[in-house]
């Protein structure tokens, strides 16, 4: 029976080993499917992959350009800021110099005004002094003529005489007081 079983087993297909026709048909179907995939699907995947790679590389390149432009703009901004700071410093210095000039001009004007006021005051004092001296001379002259008339006993009412007497008296008075001042 053993032989019968072996022959029977040899005629029946094995559940583990496939039939050669199935293997050939499976292989043909696999190669056909592989050919279709290679012909239609793989090029599409390659195109999508290439497009995606280009987009990524373009994005990176664009990002690098934007980064370089941002750095350039930052440098320009820093340069403008430095220029603005320098201009502000120049303006401050110019304003300081101008303030000093204005202050100096005002000081000079005030000095000139003070000198003018002092000179004007001196002129007024001199004029008042001359006026007071003239009034005092006239008063002194009258008083001297009155005293002289009383002492001499004659009238010195005559104008020309009186003036001559007064002038002589004042000249004597000036000559006496002049050496005392020196």
What domain count does the chain have?
A: 1
Q: Is 69 a member of any domain?
A: yes
Predicted TM-score (pTM) above 0.75: no
* Cα torsion through 112, 114, 119, 122, rounded to 10: -170
**Which residues contact residue 170 at a Cβ distance below 8 angstroms, ignoring those fewer than 6 apart?**
137, 140, 141
Q: Is 88 a member of any domain?
A: yes
Q: Is 173 a member of any domain?
A: no
Q: Is 52 a member of any domain?
A: yes
Alpha-carbon distances, residue 50 vs 35, 46, 55 (angstroms): 22, 6, 9
Range of the domain at 130: 28-168
- pLDDT at 159 (0 to 100): 61
Which of 44 and 15 is assigned the larger pLDDT?
A: 44
């Amino acid at each position: 029976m053993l032989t019968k079983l072996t022959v029977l087993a040899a005629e029946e297909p094995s559940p583990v080993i496939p039939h050669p026709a199935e293997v050939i048909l499976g292989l043909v179907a696999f190669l056909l499917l592989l050919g279709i995939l290679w012909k239609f699907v793989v090029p599409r995947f390659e195109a999508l992959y290439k497009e995606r790679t280009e987009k990524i590389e373009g994005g990176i390149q664009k990002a690098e350009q934007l980064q370089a432009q941002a750095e350039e703009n930052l440098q320009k901004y820093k340069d403008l800021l430095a220029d603005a700071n320098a201009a502000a410093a120049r303006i401050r210095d110019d304003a300081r110099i101008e303030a000093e000039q204005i202050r100096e001009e005002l000081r000079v004007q005030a000095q000139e005004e003070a000198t003018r006021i002092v000179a004007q005051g001196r002129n007024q004092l001199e004029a008042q002094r001359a006026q007071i001296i003239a009034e005092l001379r006239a008063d002194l002259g009258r008083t001297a003529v009155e005293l002289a008339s009383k002492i001499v006993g004659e009238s010195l009412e005559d104008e020309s005489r009186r003036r001559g007497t007064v002038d002589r008296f004042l000249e004597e008075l000036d000559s006496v007081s002049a050496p005392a001042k020196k």
